[in-house]
Amino acid sequence: MKRGPAAVEFHRVVKRYGDVTAVDDVSFTIAPGELVTLLGPSGCGKTTTLRLIAGLEMATTGSISIGGLDVTRRSAAERNVSMVFQSYALFPHMSVVENVAYGPSVQGVRKARAREMAMEKIALVGLEGLEQRAPSELSGGQQQRVAVARALVLEPEVLLFDEPLSNLDAKLRRRVREEIRELQLSLGLTVAYVTHDQEEALAVSDRIIVMSNARVAQIGAPRELYEAPVSCFVADFVGAANLIPAEVDKADGELASVRIGPCHLKLAHRGIGPGKAYVAIRPYRVSIGPPCCGNGELEGHVSKVAYVGDHLEYGVRISVPAVELIAIVPEPMQAFAKGAKVAVKINPTSAVLVPADQA
């Protein structure tokens, strides 16, 4: 039963509940030893995808393989996969050590040996001394560690996390996600990790699968998603983005000439043909200043100003094209009041062309 971390492969997997399609034609591969995040808004099918890996849901069509073995029709108990649940799902009638030893003991491992295995993992997550406690006597963070230890104890081929941080407070979240990442790297685990928090996803993942409306929107490394989103949805979901309607005139080599209102620029065309498109700019890359030269600038006025401590957040209403931009400016040399006329300059290195179809 014991094998190293294994690859997970989804091939055209569809999951339907009656008329509702929860997962629609999803294909991807998770390489052994890789941490892949399933990211998306609630209801996008990411948790269903995770449960399909676990065998807690059965695919309607398509195939799933783990470690090269087709497991599409195998029940959860027959797959070498463990899961850390959002609610942790610790058995309330068992102590910490009984919880962790549950896996081996139901596999028929002798009691003493199962306990030994459990103690080893309890030590790994740093909970020695608490093994006789009931789950209800532990703090949220400790319960989470028990859940991780319990999932690790069988040394599964794949470890699944279903929003493991959602029940922790903000400060703890940061620390625990770093611990999970360290654990994954040091043990070389294959991990699938569900979250709706893009920051969390960017911080821990080797690769991210962004899902939207039951489909895969984009798969890629964090930097890829952030800097080269393939759709407006991804651009906006993975770190907020300003989406400005634009017109692609013609593609010329790597670059395309793009028109945004009165302003013309050259951007990498990334396979987008002539026609309508969007230009995505991250809020903190929007540079605003007093209107000066008129060329290559978008004119507008400040519609909102918010002081957020270490930076200012401006809302800028552009007149042509009619759009409202968010600009995040580190404590500026020059502050603008609400209603002030400003110009937005678009730097080609900080803007990305995004296709229009999914706006």
Partner 1 sequence: MNRTPRVLAATGLLAYIALPWYTIENPSLTSYPFGDEGTALGLAIMGTWWLLPLALPLLLCLCIALRNRPDESCAEWLAVLGFVGFAYLLAQGFAVGLHGWNAEWLNALFGAPGPKQQGMGFGALVVGVALLFLGCRGLAGMGWCRGDTFIVSSIGAVGMLLALFVFYPVATILTSAFTDDKGQMAIAPFVEKITDSSIWGLKCLGNGVACGVAWNTIVLAVLTAFASTTLGLAFALIALRTKFRFKAPLRVMTVLPIITPPFVIGLALILMFGRSGAVSGILFRTFGVVPTRWIYGLTGIFIAQVLAFAPIAFLVLVGVVQGLSPALEEAAQTLRAKRLTIFRTVTWPLLRPGLASAFLLCLIESMADFGNPLVLGGNFEVLSTKIFFAVVGAATDQSRAAALSIVLLLLTLIGFAVQQLWLGKKSFTTLSGKGDPGLLMPLPTSIRLACYAVAVPWLVFTFAVYAIIFIGSFVKAVGRDYTPTLASYEIAFRVEHTSFGWFFSGSAWPSFFATVEIALLAAPLTAAIGLLTAYLLTRPDFHGRRALDFAAMLSFAIPGTVVGVSYILAFNVPPIEITGGALILVVCFVFRNMPVGMRAGTAALAQIDKSLDEASLTLGARSLTTFARVVLPLLRPALTASLIYAFVRAMTAVSAVIFLVSAQYNMATTYIIGRVDAGEYGVAIAYSAALIVLMLVVILLIESLVGERRLGRRPAMSNVAAAPT
Give contact residues for partner 1 (rule: CB under 8 A): 54-58, 72-79, 81-83, 85-87, 89-93, 102-103, 106-107, 150-151, 154, 160
Return the closest-CA partner of residue 283 out of 238, 240, 334.
240
Nearer to partner 1, 156 or 300 (CB): 156
Q: CB of residue 139 vs partner 1: minimum separation in angstroms? A: 19
Q: CB of residue 327 vs partner 1: minimum separation in angstroms? A: 43
Q: CB of residue 99 vs partner 1: minimum separation in angstroms? A: 9
Q: CB of residue 35 vs partner 1: minimum separation in angstroms? A: 18
Nearer to partner 1, 136 or 349 (CB): 136
Q: CB of residue 73 vs partner 1: minimum separation in angstroms? A: 5
**Residue 34: Cβ within 10 Å count:** 19
Nearer to partner 1, 82 or 242 (CB): 82
Nearer to partner 1, 164 or 222 (CB): 164
Nearer to partner 1, 93 or 223 (CB): 93
